[in-house]
Structure 1
Amino acid sequence: MLLFGLFSLILVLVFWVNKAVSLLDTMMGDGQSIAAFLKITSLGLPILIADVLPITAFIAAVFTVNRMSSESELIVVQASGFSPWRLARPVLVFGFIASLMVASVTHILGPMAQHELSVKQAELSRDVTARLLTEGTFVHPVTGITFYVREIPPSGELLDIYLSDSRSNTQRTNFLARRALIVKEDDGPVLLMFDGESQSYNVQSKKLAVTTFDSFAYGLGDLLGSASTGTRQLRAIPSQELIMTPTQIMTETGATRVELRKTVHERMEKALLATVAPLIGFAALIAGGFSRFGLWRQIFLAFGLLVVVKSIDSAAISAARRASENWPLLYVPILAGLAIAGVLLWYAANPNVLRKLPPRAAGDTP
């Protein structure tokens, strides 16, 4: 358990830093504070932890068995009469504890964090809209967009604005207007410009088209990535609600009962993987027997088998997400992992079963 906690902390920090670096540049470029950055990244930790814990449980089991073997503790225990099946019992208990941790994250903490994350993203979207209201400064809310407003009087109007949209490789558009307003619509904020002109330049033909207008509406929803928090997604709903109130959830999200069932089983499968992974690591190492040169071949075999199980897991998840009716396939990697561990433990208990029998002498009878 101590090694499991240590490896989990290290891997979570590594993956968190890897994701946080790119997010930090984006949020700092949007003028967000460090507090907002830390809150966004911390809300993404539960999903990251649920993905990491099965791997760290596997590493902890492999590391412990390898150390016990190198210090001859495993040999002493086996010599006292303990079978591989009996030795696998504490590993199974450890895996069950790890599964409970993963289940608490996938069924409860993860969905709650996803809901808070969607709320926070909606707040940040509104903050980005507010960043456009900066007098006398050229702002760049996203790549390819430049916005400028000369003055914002107490009435709330925007006086003398400039908007440049160069996100397209074939066309660049500039808007100039004497005054404008930002209004909220269902699909996001809209910039209403009055008494202005648009300049559209075609990069390929090198032609400029100028159009004057009395009023023009420019949608900012796609530009600012507006988010709605009125309807929750399935990933943001705890499993208890999916099981206890399926009718209300289907009405709220528009999902089918099969999709709800697939979501719950996908979370259960991720938790069960934390039990299977350490069993595979333990079984692969104990099946190799004692060696003065260590258990490096068995360690590489254990990692290879884990990669195989994870590959089956990825294929099963992809099949279930393509068609929710395929949710029973989610348990194929669990069954495959248990089968692999069972075969290895059986071989460890019967090490001579695959060895060649000595050849019979000429006069021997069968």
Structure 2
Amino acid sequence: MIARYDGYMLRQLIAMWGFFTLVLAGVFWISRSIGLFSTLLAGGHSPWVFFELTAFTLPTLVRTVMPMAVFAAVVYVTNRLRRESELVVLQAIGTSPLRLARPILYFALLSSVMIGAITLYLRPESIAAYDRREAELEQDVAAKLLREGTFLHPMDSVVLYFGEVNSDSTLRDVFLSDRRNPDQTLTYTASEAYLVPQDDELYVVMVNGMAARYSTQTEALSVTWFEDFTFDVSSFGRFDETAERGLRSLPTWQLMSQRAQLAATGRFTEGQMAEELQERLSWIGICATVAMVGFAALLMGAHSRFGLWAQIGISFVVLIGLEGARGAAGKMVGEDPSMWWAYHAPTAIGFALSLVFLHFAGRPLRRPNTGN
């Protein structure tokens, strides 16, 4: 019986892990995607762009929900096996809590390997790809600026308005106000204009319009009617071809081996890089910890047809405390990189607590015998 126990429990853990990961990831994905979807559609982008950008956020999303899914899978499977007396029978034939925890340890190692691949490699690469794609979208000035019926502010002291934007790049009811020069205000209006891209620049050619110049010093207003007038929309805000890669998108190997070179650029401090690196590594340990703590806490409880809600609550409180300690450790490492070990202290504490719980599970407290 015990020889088949490891594979039997491991299969159930993996199945429930996949189920809870899909459910939690779906809930988080919907809640986070609504705002992005509205913004992209309002900017004139196709739904395909939305799915492309959300695909880049999946590694971050999966990393966020994976420890919760691991904990939920362990608690669900352990509680069910206790309720159906399967674990009780194994304990009755003399199986130690440490032996019962072996498939949980295998499962913890498996989940740690997966979250390690995500947090150390896939997530930084996906963030970098997201930044590059976002920079490409920002280069599309037409999609960023040309919105019908809205007063736009591409930069300080500049206001643009387009009453209608047609698919053939024809613009209707164009208004441009330029107050960048404090001594004068320039205003351009036209009933019709055309969008003309040329040499990586974007021009708007206004026809049959009016240009008004107002001097704030002399309070003089001059008006000129024109047949055509061209202005460079790109000059109102240039966007770099490649967005500057943030700290979260840096490859892990750079944070490990090139911190001195990165610090010399002035973009990041030693504390920031140490915090980011240790934060990535800490996800590996904390994912294994939640599995061990959840199982060990439930194993302490006595058999009950109504489940082990008290033990589930204890394990949940312990994990909240460990996560709070991990957050506090992040600030310590950011201020003093030599305190890098503080980020991994919650993992060590969690494993120590799981061993204590397993010890008490093997030696349950007995009520004193008051009979004669």
Report the TM-score when normalising by structure 2. Answer: 0.74
Distance in 2, Cα, partners of 1:80 & 1:277: 28
Aligned to 2:149: 138
Query: How far is 1:66 from its partner?
Result: 0.6
| Residue 126 in structure 1 maps to residue 111 in structure 2 | no
Which of 264, 268, 276 is residue 289 of structure 2 equivalent to? 276
| Residue 49 in structure 1 maps to residue 62 in structure 2 | yes
Query: How far is 1:42 from its partner?
Result: 1.1
Q: Is the 8 Å Cα contact of residues 147 and 161 (structure 1) preserved in structure 2?
A: yes
Residues 93 and 268 (structure 1 numbering): CA distance in 2 closer, same or farther, change over 3 Å? same
Aligned to 1:263: 276
Distance in 1, Cα, partners of 2:137 & 2:220: 35
Note the 1:215-294 alignment, pairs <5 A.
Answer: 220-221=236-237, 226=239, 229=242, 231-250=244-263, 254-294=267-307
Residues 61 and 175 (structure 1 numbering): CA distance in 2 closer, same or farther, change over 3 Å? farther
Which of 311, 314, 322 is residue 309 of structure 1 equivalent to? 322
Q: Is the 8 Å Cα contact of residues 161 and 176 (structure 1) preserved in structure 2?
A: no
Structure 2 segments unaligned to the other structure (5+ residues): 1-13, 179-184, 225-230
Aligned to 1:176: 187
| Residue 77 in structure 1 maps to residue 96 in structure 2 | no
RMSD, aligned α-carbons: 4.4
- Kindly, what percent of the aligned residue pairs are identical? 31
2:45 partner letter: Q
Aligned residues: 331
Query: How far is 1:54 from its partner?
Result: 0.9
Report the TM-score when normalising by structure 1. Answer: 0.75
Query: How far is 1:257 from its partner?
Result: 4.3
Aligned to 1:26: 39
Q: Is the 8 Å Cα contact of residues 57 and 274 (structure 1) preserved in structure 2?
A: yes
Distance in 1, Cα, partners of 2:18 & 2:173: 59
Q: Is the 8 Å Cα contact of residues 151 and 159 (structure 1) preserved in structure 2?
A: yes
Which of 116, 119, 124 is residue 106 of structure 1 equivalent to? 119
Aligned to 1:203: none
Residues 131 and 312 (structure 1 numbering): CA distance in 2 closer, same or farther, change over 3 Å? closer
Residues 159 and 31 (structure 1 numbering): CA distance in 2 closer, same or farther, change over 3 Å? closer
Structure 1 segments unaligned to the other structure (5+ residues): 166-173, 184-188, 201-208, 362-366
1:176 partner letter: T
Query: How far is 1:15 from its partner?
Result: 0.3
Query: How far is 1:348 from its partner?
Result: 1.1
Aligned to 1:298: 311
Query: How far is 1:74 from its partner?
Result: 0.1
Distance in 1, Cα, partners of 2:261 & 2:203: 33
Query: How far is 1:303 from its partner?
Result: 1.9
| Residue 67 in structure 1 maps to residue 67 in structure 2 | no
SS in 1 for 2:187: strand
| Residue 92 in structure 1 maps to residue 105 in structure 2 | yes
Superposed CA deviations along residues 9-44 of structure 1, whole A, max 9, x for unmatched, are 111111001101121111111111111101111111
Residues 332 and 130 (structure 1 numbering): CA distance in 2 closer, same or farther, change over 3 Å? same
